[in-house]
Each structure stands twice: as C-alpha cells, then as structure tokens.
Amino acid sequence: MEAPFSFGRVSPPIDFCDREAERGVLARNFMSGTNTTLISPRRWGKTSLVAAVARDLSATKGLAICRIDLLGVRDEADCYAALANGVIAAVNTGWDGFVSDVKRFLSQLRPRIAVSPDPSVQLSFDLDWEEVGRSPADVIDLAQRVAAERKLKLVVCVDEFQAIAGFKDSLAFQQALRARWQHHSDVTYCLYGSKRSMMTTMFSDPAWPFYRFGEIMELQKIANSKWSEFIAKRFDDTGKAISVELASYLAELVDNHPYYVQQLAQQTWYRTGRVCAKPVIDEALGAIADQLGYSFTSLAEGLSAAQLRLIQAVLNGANQLSSAATIKEYRLKTAGSVVAIKKALISKEVLDADATGKLSVLDPVFAYWLKNRYFAAS
C-alpha cells in the first residue's frame, strides 16, 4: 500500500493539509486581478498552494492559469522562452492550436517549434534571441495580447522568480518587466520562489524594480492542531492508527514544517504495524537525520567556526547572544561580530528570526542533526 503522505512534489488534493485561508485569499486575488507575491522559507508548500488554487478555479469560465518554473533558467533568453511557452501552452490543449498561436503571436521572432514523437512530451518552442533582443516587448506583453484577443483573464504564476536576480544586468531586466507588466489589464501575476531573503529584498526594498508590485503574502506555518487532525485521519484512512496526541508530537518534533511533517509522517507510517507508538516516531526522525547526514555535513563544513558556535548557542537556548557571558562561553569575540554573523546566517537561510527577533535554525531536521549528531560528537 502506498503511504498516505506526500513530500518533495506538488501535493495531490488528498495529501494537501489546510491552507484554507491562504487558498481563499489567493483565489480572490486571481479573480480580482490583484498581483501577488508569495514569500516563505523553502519547502513550506508555495508551489502546492498555487497548484491547489489552480485546481479550485479550473472550471471558472473566462479564466486561464499559466504556471511557469524558472528553476534552471540562467539568462534572459531562457526566461523569455519559458514565459512565452508557458503563456501559449496555458491557452491551448492540442498541437494545432499551439502551433497556430505561436505563429500568430510570435512569427516575427522566428520561433522554432520542437516536434516530439512522444505525445506525453509537452509542446515547446525556442525563440531567436537576436530577434527577441530587438523587440523584447513582444514577449513581455505576450500574456496581455493573448488574453485580450481570447477575451479572458489570464493568471501567470512564476515559480523560482528570484532566479532573475542572478541574470546579467538583472535590474535592467526587472525594470523592463515591471514597466510593462504593471499595465496589463487582463493579466494577473503571482510570483514566488524558494529564496525567501532574496524574494523579500526584491519586493520590499524601494530600490528594487518590483517594489510594491502587488500584495505580499507571507506564509505562516500550518497550525499543529491542523497537522494532528490530518495525520490521524490519513493513518485511519489506510487502516492504521495514531492518536491525535502522538500526531501532534510528531508534527512538533519538526516544528510543524510542512515538508518534514509529511516526510516524518510517511516514515512513521511505514514503521507502524497497526497502532503507532512514540518510539516509532523517534526512530523515524533519527533515520531521516541520518539519511540527510551527508548533505548536512557539507552544509556544516561550509560554515565558519564562529558561525557554528553561534548556531550552537542558539540551539542551547542562549537568550542574549550579544551578552558578555554568551560571547565568552561561545568565543564569539565582540557584540559587533555577533551581529555580522547573525546577518550572514540569516542571509544564507540557515537561521531565521521571528517577529520578536528570536533566532532559530530554519531547517528543523538540520537543527536535530546538529544537536544530536554533529555537536554531540565534538
């Protein structure tokens, strides 16, 4: 029997937990034409949330949703091709319509359509970069032109949007996008990515082109009570049992982190005969930490000794990291160096600061591994 938990991929409807409020807000924004930026740490379920809202609205007449992933896109040429392919594919279900729209909207850019004998392969085309370079607005405005001609509202969702910050002349490229996208009356943009610090800078810093481009939604953790109900039900659905109390304990072990809750629940489910017991959960968490040990070791080795000592202080519950006692105990030199180290670790998304400024290790299993494997062995 397949385990009733999903992680590392877009969650199917049955494995999607909560986010009811967020789904409602995002659906409202899609329908009302409000641009939205989703911001959260990695693997908190942004992609699954957008996919869920797309499913919710799939039958809405006059609305089309385009989902584009910029993972692996390295320059403007690749980005333009991804945007154009995504838009054309979103409003076509067959080969004939796809080819017709490519020729109608992009013939001046000399598109090269890829033909595959495998019908399961998604239709795609490349663009002549020299032609795009002469008239980039033809691609930047493509979504608006398609939506206007088709008389529909088009929602363009762009995953890993922060990738464009790494392009050559990135600010000029962002300015070109923003200058035209803000006038698209029939298109709504939903932009999100896995680098929270960069996404926050791009959309919250007045010096960046996409400042105040739309509503910023900062995802919060799913409540522990929601997780405990979800886990208990999924166990019950498959003929196994876990108490709500133990399900709550399971989620809390990984700080209610969406990806890790699903993974730990899956590994616990595998190890459970009929009724789950607490030692099974603890064993499953240890196994996950050991499985990730190699990547965690590489991450730790990429940190300086001072950064590791500050992380250790955070894990040990040090309340005042800049105090003379903490600096002496963890050999952190000066209060100024503590501030610099914190800033660097937050930028690397190793540490996270909540609204009160309290620090924690962002990845809860990395925190477990550090405390119970790495620092325990030193």
Per-position pLDDT tens, the chain of length 378: 788 998 888 888 888 888 999 999 999 999 999 999 999 988 899 999 999 999 999 999 999 999 999 998 999 999 999 999 999 999 988 878 888 888 888 887 777 776 554 444 466 788 887 878 888 999 999 999 999 999 999 999 999 999 999 999 999 999 999 999 999 999 999 999 988 889 999 999 999 999 999 999 999 889 999 999 999 999 999 999 999 999 999 999 999 999 999 999 999 999 999 999 999 999 999 999 999 999 999 999 999 999 999 999 999 999 889 999 999 999 999 999 999 999 999 989 999 987 788 899 999 999 999 999 999 877
The pLDDT tens digits for 222-233 are: 999 999 999 999
**Strands of the sheet with 36-39, listed across from one edge:** 63-69, 153-159, 187-192, 36-39, 215-218
Q: Classify domain 224-291 at the CATH topology level.
A: Helicase, Ruva Protein; domain 3 (1.10.8)
For the chain, residues classed under CATH 1.10.10 are 294-374
The pLDDT tens digits for 255-296 are: 999 999 999 999 999 999 999 999 999 999 999 999 999 999
Residues 6+ apart with CB under 8 A from 360: 255, 314, 351, 352, 354, 367
Strands 153-159 and 359-361 turn out to be unpaired
Residue 306: count of CB within 10 angstroms of its CB = 17
Statement: 294-374 belongs to CATH 1.10.10: yes
Q: Which residue has the tokens 């397949």?
A: 2
For residues 369 and 292, the answer to whether their CB atoms sit within 8 Å is: yes
Adjacent-strand bridge partners of 39: 218
Adjacent-strand bridge partners of 126: 112
For residues 236 and 217, the answer to whether their CB atoms sit within 8 Å is: no
Nearest to 162 by CA among 205, 189, 207, 192: 192
Burial of 78 per CB tally in 10 Å (0-12, 13-18, 19+): middle
Nearest to 47 by CA among 202, 258, 227: 258
- Assigned superfamily of 19-218: P-loop containing nucleotide triphosphate hydrolases (3.40.50.300)
Read off the pTM.
0.88
Rounded CA-CA distance 364/262 in Å is 13
